[in-house]
A and B are shown apart, each in its own frame.
Chain A
Amino acid sequence: MVQWTAEEKQFITGLWGKVNVAECGGEALARLLIVYPWTQRFFASFGNLSGATAVLGNPKVQAHGKKVLTSFGEAVKNLDGIKNTFSSLSELHCDKLHVDPENFRLLGDILVIVLAAHFTKDFTPACQATWQKLVGLVAHALARKYH
């Protein structure tokens, strides 16, 4: 059973309340495709992904980023039940999407950097540690049903 201190919960929910999910999600997904271009292999149908400008301006990337981060928000709402929350998404990513779970870790780390750039000084070491723990748990939950 994952344990969260009161301080950790505050770091999570406090910050999440100030996040623009659409913008942040689009940003995070765009950065994944830019910083780790091989991840574009999962988005062949998205059209032009050639270079940072194209990726950042691509409406499908923005839309999908929003979808992904909205889903991530479910973890924030269910901190004590993350494994179950992502159970069917885990099966989907394995059986239909065929995504290597390593990519969940990459996206998690990128999300942390996006939050850092957005919240600057407020994203203290303790706050970062909480978020690294959260993205790690979500990545783990998404990988759990792989076979």
Chain B
Amino acid sequence: MLTAEDKKLIQQMWGKLGGAEEEIGAEALTRMFCSYPPTKTYFPHFDLSPGSDQVRGHGKKVVAALSNAIKNLDNLSQALSELSNLHAYNLRVDPPRFSLQFLSQCLQVALATRLGKDYSPEVHSAVDKFMSAVASVLAEKYR
């Protein structure tokens, strides 16, 4: 469960990114496709070459959704409700637990490379819990 302290750390961390959030989205996806090739199977319609506009665009979307979630940490279920439907009924990405785990890892690596020491164990823990909570909400309607 996200504690008050976790929520504070997440919001502070996100605030420190100074506009780099969109880049981070694209970078997280790029890292995910690179480290976990099977995740590419969900994007056969995309140009996945480095610097692809589609990857950049999609990265922006993902980050916008996460930003929204971070603004609504007290009500993730509601904030992510639409996305939850989308993932369950349309996208049907293999149980979010697995794919989100790869996205979570790559997002955290992207954050760590930017924040260095500021990606402290406490922040790391809060973000990991947050991504885990996001995955749970997205998986709610799978069956």
Contact = CB atoms under 8 A, between A and B. Distances in A.
Interface of A: 27, 30-31, 34-35, 52, 55-56, 109, 112-113, 116-121, 123, 125-126, 128-129, 132-133
- Of the listed residues A56, A121, A125, the one surrounded by the most CB atoms of chain B closer than 10 A to its CB is A125
B93 to A, nearest CB: 20
Interface of B: 27, 30-31, 34-36, 105-106, 108-109, 112-117, 119, 121-122, 124-125, 128
B119 A113 contact: yes
Given A117-B119, A129-B34, A132-B35, A31 B124 contact: yes
Contacts of B108: 113, 116
Contact of A117 (B30, B105, B113): B113
Contacts of B31: 125, 128-129
A6 B43 CA distance: 29
28 contacts: A27-B121, A31-B121, A31-B124, A31-B125, A34-B121, A34-B122, A34-B124, A34-B125, A35-B124, A52-B121, A52-B125, A56-B121, A112-B105, A112-B109, A113-B112, A113-B119, A116-B108, A116-B112, A117-B112, A117-B113, A117-B119, A119-B113, A120-B112, A121-B113, A128-B34, A129-B31, A132-B36, A133-B35
A136 to B, nearest CB: 9
Contacts of B30: 125
Nearest to B28: A125
A78 B113 CA distance: 28
Contacts of A118: 116
For the residues of A in contact with B, the DSSP-based class is helix
B114 A120 contact: yes
B124 A113 contact: yes
Nearest to B108: A113
Given A27-B121, A113-B124, 8 more contacts: A34-B121, A34-B124, A56-B121, A113-B109, A123-B113, A128-B35, A132-B36, A132-B105
A109 B113 contact: no
B109 A116 contact: yes
Contacts of A121: 113
B109 to A, nearest CB: 4
A27 B34 CA distance: 26
A35 B119 contact: no
B109 A120 contact: no
A40 B124 CA distance: 17
Contacts of B116: 117-118, 120
Nearest to A119: B113
